[in-house]
Chains A and B, each alone.
Chain A
Amino acid sequence: MANASKTSFGTFTAGLIRENPTFAQVLGLCPTLATSTNANNALGMGLAATGVLILSNIFISSIRKIIPDQIRIPAYISVIAALVTIVDLLMHGYMYHLWTNLGLYVPLIVVNCIIMGRAEAFASKNSVWKSFLDGLGMGLGFIGAILLLGITREVLGNGTIFGYRLWPKAYAVFVTVLPPGAFLIIGFYMAIFHHISIVRKSRKRA
């Protein structure tokens, strides 16, 4: 896990692969699986969650010395809920189609474990700059993971990528768009990430 002794570069890169919130930390799986049915939705969800993550990390880091320990969780939740409401209002006003497509998962960003997890584990203990880098890195890691799932599920389940047809629908494996397909595909990618992690560790030891 990230700690205060990391360099700025190390803080930023941690979330990309080594501590990827989805594949390594296994956080926020509910919205990840539910909204990764196609690449467009996955990208929209990834961007919305990343925006909230970066802003919440900055805000929570900047008030960390004011908020007493006993009330830090309700304070963080309030900050995150306010930021999610802002994202929800902005999406409703300026990205109506995406807002309709993402549906109830936009308000549910409030309870996304990645955001609460980073607030508690990192932003509440580190400077604003490092918290921003952590939010950005973790956010990009989340976007990468959810986009990978979204593209895989859309390509296999519909034969399209971002709506552009690659092959006839007759060859589509529809189960990949359904919940069981989401579990199968995320399991497959987690196995790959775990394998890469084991190989890297064994190389370091050698």
Chain B
Amino acid sequence: MGKHIKIALILTILMVVLGVVLGFVYMITEKPIAKSDLEAKLSAIKFVLTSPQTGKLLVNKNQIPTSLAQLDSKIWKSNPSGLLYKDPKYPGYVLSPVYKFLGKDGLPIYVLTGYGIGFGGKVVTVAAFIQQRDKKFYENAIDVINYSSETPGLGAKINNNNVRRRFFSIPNSGFKRGVKVNKDANLFPLPSDYISKLGQYKKEGIVVTSDVMTGATITPRAVVNTLNAMYDFLEKEAR
């Protein structure tokens, strides 16, 4: 009996010591982690508010937030639960808050954060949608800010520039049908002239990823599910 108590006591003391050490490290790293996450978000917002075609900002430079306070001033919709919308058909979610910016041409630009379920967990994407004069939405660009559960070398390539570009500039017509990756849209194998047709495929709601993400379909599927959820949310809330 005494032996068992001794073992229990030793394990308890060990756990308490480890718990104290972990708590101490957590306190030290809490602010740097929040800072890293904020920097990643601010950088992503600036990125998605840049035109992929011209490389120029779609909003005036002074509108780009550089601190949490400036970012908070751009909040358009928020929800204390942290979740604004869940796609009823696919695992795509829109997170709170959604930001609204005013473009140089006077058009509203919505910046949304959302996630889909990838190979290892959440794949978090930031995307900008421009509401055009006819009230239809045009997706400008995306940035994948958290893919830490995806396989390095495969799914984790989702934020490589050559992969990310495939999700840029999707027009309203593409979202009407629901955006899909080319394998899910039965566009596989790809025709020899597919590179020249990437824009056309986007109008049809097809994002070609199988050539740049070989061996990883689940991660880009998580991104398109997120984009579809974002579009549905805007259709419901911003029309």
Q: Which of B7, B10, B39, B148 contacts A99 (CB 8 A)?
A: B148
What CA separation (Å) do A23 and B22 show in the bound complex? Answer: 34
A196: Cβ under 8 A from any B Cβ: no
Residues of chain B within 8 A (CB-CB) of A94 are 32, 36
What CA separation (Å) do A133 and B214 show in the bound complex? Answer: 42
Chain A residue total in the interface (Cβ 8 A): 35
Residues of chain A within 8 A (CB-CB) of B52 are none
Q: Which of B21, B25, B40, B153 contacts A37 (CB 8 A)?
A: B153
Contacting residues of chain B (122-146) with chain A, CB-CB under 8 angstroms: 146
Contacting residues of chain B (141-163) with chain A, CB-CB under 8 angstroms: 146-154, 156, 159
What CA separation (Å) do A90 and B32 show in the bound complex? Answer: 9
B153–A68 touching, CB < 8 Å: no
Q: Which of B10, B29, B37, B147 contacts A103 (CB 8 A)?
A: B147
Write the A85-101 contact mask toward B (1 if CB under 8 angstroms, else 0): 11001101110100111
Residues of chain B within 8 A (CB-CB) of A178 are 153-154, 214-215
Contacting residues of chain A (10-36) with chain B, CB-CB under 8 angstroms: 34-35
What CA separation (Å) do A93 and B156 show in the bound complex? Answer: 19
A96–B40 touching, CB < 8 Å: yes
B76: Cβ under 8 A from any A Cβ: no
A67: Cβ under 8 A from any B Cβ: yes
A184 to chain B, nearest CB (A): 15
A67–B152 touching, CB < 8 Å: no
Can you name the residue of chain B whose Cβ is closest to the Cβ of A79?
A: B18
Q: Which of A68, A92, A102, A179 contacts B6 (CB 8 A)?
A: A68
Write the A105-144 contact mask toward B (1 if CB under 8 angstroms, else 0): 1000000000000000000000000000000000000000
A100–B146 touching, CB < 8 Å: yes
Residues of chain A within 8 A (CB-CB) of B22 are 82, 85-86
What are 23 pairs between A and B in contact, CB < 8 Å? A34-B152, A35-B153, A37-B154, A66-B10, A67-B10, A68-B6, A75-B14, A86-B21, A86-B25, A93-B29, A93-B31, A93-B36, A94-B36, A96-B39, A96-B40, A100-B146, A100-B147, A100-B148, A101-B156, A103-B149, A103-B151, A103-B156, A104-B148
